[in-house]
Amino acid sequence: MLTEESCPSEQRYLMLAARLNSRSFDEARASAIEWCTKHPDRVSEPNVAALEALRKTELSNQVAAFVTFSCYADIPSGRVYSAVFDCSLPQEMNSTSAELLFGIFWHRLPTNGLEHGHHQLAVFSFPAGFPPLLQRLPLCDGAMVDTGQRLGLCDAENWGAISASRAEPNYALKRTVRDEVSG
Domains and CATH numbers, the chain: 4-140+148-182 (2.40.30)
Cβ atoms of 58 and 106 within 8 Å: the answer is no
pLDDT at residue 173, rounded to an integer: 46
Cβ atoms of 14 and 162 within 8 Å: the answer is no
pLDDT at residue 145, rounded to an integer: 59
Kindly give the interhelix angle for 156-166 and 171-182, rounded to the nearest 10 degrees. Answer: 120
Nearest Cα neighbor of 18 from 137, 136, 107, 154 is 137
pLDDT at residue 181, rounded to an integer: 46
The distance in angstroms from the start CA to the end CA of the chain is 11
| CA pseudo-torsion sign 104, 83, 4, 118 | positive
Q: What is the mean pLDDT of each run of 10 residues along the chain (183 residues)?
A: 91 92 92 93 88 94 91 94 89 92 87 89 94 87 68 93 78 48 45
Nearest Cα neighbor of 29 from 55, 59, 52 is 55
Q: How many residues does the chain have?
A: 183
